[in-house]
Structure 1
Amino acid sequence: MQQISSFQNSDTGRLYLVPTPIGNLDDMTFRAVKTLREVDLIAAEDTRHTQQLLNHFEIDTKEISFHEHNTEQRIPELIEKLKNGVTIAQCSDAGMPSISDPGKELVAAAVKAGIPVVPLPGANAGLTALIASGLAPQPFYFYGFLQRKHQQQVTELQAMVNRPETLIFYEAPHRLKKTLATLAEVLGAGRQAVLARELTKRYEEFSRGSLGELQAYFTEHSPRGEFVVLVAGNPHPQEDTQPASDLSPLEQVDQEIVKGLSTNAAIKLVAKRNGLNRQQLYRQYHHIGE
C-alpha cells in the first residue's frame, strides 16, 4: 500500500487538474479561475487555445505546451519542476484532463514521484449529455473515441453487445456517419440512441431515435460540431448456453444474432473465431450456390 501523504507537509509543488468549459465560458468555476491565477505554470494542450481562455478571465500565468505528441519529452521536465516546488495546473482544450484528453501519464508520473495531485471538478461532455439524454443515467459505460478503422470498431463494439449499461462515445463530425453505420451493424439498427452536439453552446441539439433512424437522418444531413453518442444498453443480455466449440459455425452465427449482432457482423465474428473464409461462410449461411 502506498503511504498516505499530507499536502501540508509536502515540500514539493502540486499538480492541479483544472477542467475548462466545453463551450460556454460561463461554466468556468471560480475555483478554476483562482487556481489558474495562483499557480506558477499552466501545462496546456494547446497554448493558443488556452490563451484565449486566460485572456477572457484576465489571467497572466505563464503557459507550457503539454499534448499527446510531446508527452515523453515534457513529463520528466514537469516532474522535475514539481519536485523543485513549482505548482502546475494541467488543462486540456475542453472538459476534464485525462478524459479522452492528455493528462493520465503526467498524473501517473506525479503519483509515482510522491507529488500531490489535486483534482478540480468541472465540465464534462459525456455526463452533460447523459443527464439530458432520456436514457438510463446509471449505470453507464464511458468509452470515449472508438478506433477509426471499420474492423477495429467492429471488434471493439462486439465486446459491448451484451453490456446492459448506457454506452457513451465521443465522435468528430467528419467520422460520425461511418461510426453510426458500424454501431447499427454491430449493436443492431433498432437499438435506441441519442446524439448530442454543440453542448452548452448556442446551437446545442439532441437527436433521438434508433441507430437506424439516426443513420438514415445523417445520410441526408451533414453533421456539424463535436458529438457525444449515447446508446441504450442491452436490456436482455444473453450469455452463451454452451461453448462455441460445441456448435457448428452456422449455429454459432445464429447464436451471435440472438445476442444482438447483425447477420454480417455475426458471420465476420464466427469466421475469425474459427479461422474460416468469411465469404465462404456467408455463402453457406445464405445457401448461395446450393
Structure 2
Amino acid sequence: MSEGRCIIVPMTTLGAIYLPQHPPEALRDVAVAADRAGLAELWLWEDCFLSGGVAASAAALAWTERLRVGIGIMPVPFRNVAATAMEIATLSRMFGDRVLPGIGHGVQDWMGQVGARAASPLTLLREYATALRSLLHGEEVTVSGRYVQLDAVRLDWPPAVIPDLYVAATGPKTLALAGEVGDATVLAGGTSPAGVTEARELSGAKDLVVFVPALPGDSAGRLVAAREKYGHAFAGLSGTAAEIAEGVRLFAAAGATRVILQPLEEDDPIAYVRWVAEEVRPLVG
C-alpha cells in the first residue's frame, strides 16, 4: 500500500470470524474475549460437518452482553423453513438485534452428501426466503412450491422486532436474488474490493457483508498457501494494524458496509478477536 495514503469512507462495521475448525467448547472463551474487547460482531460458520450454527450462536449470545453474532450461513436444504423461522424467532426474542441470521443455498457437494441437493438451488432459495420472511413477520403462510410446502403455518412466538435476513451469494443470479429476497447480502471470503463493487451493483444491497482473510505481521506467504489450499482467488490482507485498517477502508469504499476479518485455522482465536477490536478497529475510523 502506498506510503501515507488515507482513504476516507463512511463508517463501516468491523467484525471477526470464529472458524468452526476450532472445537465448539472453545467458543465461550473467544466470545467473552470479543465482548470484553469491544468487538462489534462475531460471525460463526455452519460449514459441513463441523459445529451447528444455531446452537453455537445461542451459546455465544448467552455468554455475552453487547456482542452481535452472525450465522454465516444456515444452508436452506438442511432445515424445514418453519423450523428455521422458529429458531430465528426464538433467538430474536431472547437477544434482540444482537442476532444476525444468514441463509444460503449451501455448498452443493455437501448438500449432496446429506441427500438434500436441490435440482434448482435458486428456486429453493427464493421459495425458502420468501416463506421465511412472511413467517418472521407473524403471517400465516400457505404455499405449495417446488420445494417449500406449508399449510396454514403461523409462529406462536414471532419476533418482537423482526431481524434483518442476511442472504449469501456468489454468482450473478444468486446476487440478484439475494438483493430481492434479503435485507443484506453476504459475500464469501476471498472476494476482492472489485468483486464487492460488482456484487453491490448486481444485488442492489444496501447492507453488504464481506468476509476478508486478514493476518497480522508478515503473513503474505500464509495467504499464498491459503490460495493454493482452497484453489480459488483468495483476496486478503496482511501486515501491521495500520495496513490492515487501510485495507478495510478499501473494502468499505468498494461498497461493503460490514467487513468481517477472517483468520486462518492455525491462528489463536482469542488473540485474533482482541487484535481486531483493540488494534485494527481504532484505526479504521
Q: TM-score range by the shorter chain?
A: under 0.3
Tell which has more relative contact order, 1 or 2 (C-alpha 8 A, sep 6+).
Answer: 2
Report which of the two structures shows the higher radius of gyration computed on alpha carbons: 1
TM-score, normalized by length of structure 2? 0.26
Higher percent of residues as strand? 2
